[in-house]
Amino acid sequence: MERISWHQYFMAQSHLLALRSTCTRLMVGATIVRDKRIIAGGYNGSISGGKHCIEDGCYVIDNHCVRTIHAEINALLQCAKFGVPTDGAEIYVTHFPCLNCCKSLIQAGIKKVFYASDYKNHEYAIELFEAAGVDVEQVELEEMILDRNSEEKLKFTADILNRLEQLGLPSDELQKLKEVANNLYTSN
């Protein structure tokens, strides 16, 4: 059995953290790593003890929910709260950091940002990362590696589709089923 890569391991952790998000607009998770060790994690949500978007809806001002603290900030705050230095660390985020998170990550000394999905990638954030010498790299989560039976499932699905073709299922119906299967196995 082949082991999961470090990038996939930390990105999977960020996606898992995102499942704790209380924002109804976008679920984001972030994992701060130093020397291949997780030092903090965060997800976007309201302040501790505050009202959450999932309960009262988003509090939107200028097309932005002001109720939530972003995942990257929550992870940085966790480090600050417990006295864990972030200088020289890396962060794995499910989505490209917003401009404010970009500035906070630079100020905290984060040297590498790995993100899974593009999300309103701000031109100035990219410029700031470059000027600060922060490496930014897209690392998409390969969800299939998290499923120990993915190869068997793919083979089973292919066998069913081939059998349906042999039985004479009309090509337009077969194509629709192939598209559904492809979307199931490649969606994020």
- Pairing between strand 112-117 and 90-95? parallel
Q: For each successive 10 residues of the chain (188 residues), what is the average pLDDT?
A: 89 96 93 98 94 90 90 98 97 97 98 96 98 97 71 79 85 86 69
Beta-strand relationship, 64-65 and 37-43 = unpaired
Distance spanning both ends of the chain, measured CA to CA: 24
pLDDT at 188: 46
pTM: 0.81
What pLDDT does 184 receive?
Answer: 77
Residue numbers annotated as active site: 72
Q: What is the DSSP string of 168-187?
A: T--HHHHHHHHHHHHHHHH-
